[in-house]
Amino acid sequence: MRARFTLGTLLLFVLPAAVAAQTQAGTTTESTRTVAVVTEPNAIVWLDEIRRGATDESGRLALSKVSSGAHTLRVRANGFKETTTPVGAAARGEIAVRLLRTNDQAEISFQQAETARETAKNEEDKLKAAELYRDALKARAAFPAAQVGLARVLMDLNDTDGALNAIAAARRYRASYPEASAVEGRVFREAGQTDEAIGSFNRALRESHGFQPEAHVGLGRIYEEKGEYDLATHEFQIAINQLADTEPIIYQLLGAAHEKAGNPKEAIAAYENYLRLAPNGSLAPAIKSIVEQLKSDQP
């Protein structure tokens, strides 16, 4: 059965999506370029607060589909001070980013916590990551990024109250924080508090002027759960465009939503994009089987 919405609930969904769609429409017609970041090996790179990957062993990462205009580049490597660099509208080719070694215990603990969270395989690993985030916060109370990292790991540990408290603490030092709002939305969604999740995802989109792929994915998943598959695919596609093909898993979400909507051709295209980007990914064998089945079902 399709979900029923009041006009107010529909506006909560549709207005942010419309703003985001206008934002995306404005970027798709712009020319794009490729730049290469050259810095320390295994450094994480963000462009306009969107994580675009990590440098290779030579310290290089190519960023494709960089729109015209000015951007902000953020780079972090373990043991070095994080740095933010402007990228001018005319920038092309290589962008060299020099990182300086750091002895800041808060920053070092935070970097260790991020690595521990991203590589965690079990509850013990996640608890260790949480402890490292708390070490960073003991060394520097005004550290909103550490609070958001702590919120992510506490969410994974099913500590909803702890995660929400960490988000609230982050906002005490950074009132407008799109990532914090997106993570808050995820916490609410996983706790089954759908209305609160919608509010937080919408807040993330307002704070980021529509450019927040994590919030778009969150709204897409809510739409999907409510059976609003067209709206779900719309949100997933915006997220894919904003992430410039750096997160193959969203193509899997897009494909699944198209399947449920009865759009087999679109589902096949989305799944094949996942396989293009992650041919050896954990979902690849299952997705290959789904694609074969969908193609065999075509008239």
Rounded Cα distance, 131 and 177, in Å:
23
Pairing state between β 60-67 and 44-47 = unpaired
pLDDT digits (tens, 9 = 90+) for 166-200: 999 999 999 999 999 999 999 999 999 999 999 99
Rounded Cα distance, 231 and 9, in Å:
14
Q: Tell me if 163 sits within 8 A of 154, measured CB to CB.
A: yes
For residue 284, pLDDT beyond 80: yes
Best CA proximity match to 74, nearest among 53, 91, 89, 93: 53
The answer to whether position 89 is within a domain reads yes
The answer to whether position 87 is within a domain reads yes
The answer to whether position 160 is within a domain reads no
**Mean pLDDT (whole number) for 98-111:** 96
The answer to whether position 145 is within a domain reads no
Rounded Cα distance, 35 and 236, in Å:
26
Q: Tell me if 162 sits within 8 A of 152, measured CB to CB.
A: no
pLDDT digits (tens, 9 = 90+) for 196-222: 999 999 999 999 999 999 999 999 999
Question: DSSP letter string over 197-242?
Answer: HHHHHHHHHHHTTT--HHHHHHHHHHHHHTT-HHHHHHHHHHHHHH
The answer to whether position 229 is within a domain reads no
Best CA proximity match to 140, nearest among 175, 183, 111: 111
The answer to whether position 123 is within a domain reads no
CA pseudo-torsion sign 50, 175, 70, 94:
negative
pLDDT digits (tens, 9 = 90+) for 222-275: 999 999 999 999 999 999 999 888 899 999 999 999 999 999 999 999 999 999
The answer to whether position 280 is within a domain reads no
Q: Give the structural domain span for 72.
A: 31-102
Counted domains in the chain? 1
Q: What is the pTM of this model?
A: 0.83
**Mean pLDDT (whole number) for 78-99:** 91
For residue 148, pLDDT beyond 60: yes
The answer to whether position 170 is within a domain reads no
Position 30 scores a pLDDT of 54
Please compute Rg for the chain using Cα positions. 20
Specify the CATH number for the domain of residue 97: 2.60.40.1120
Largest CA distance in the chain: 64
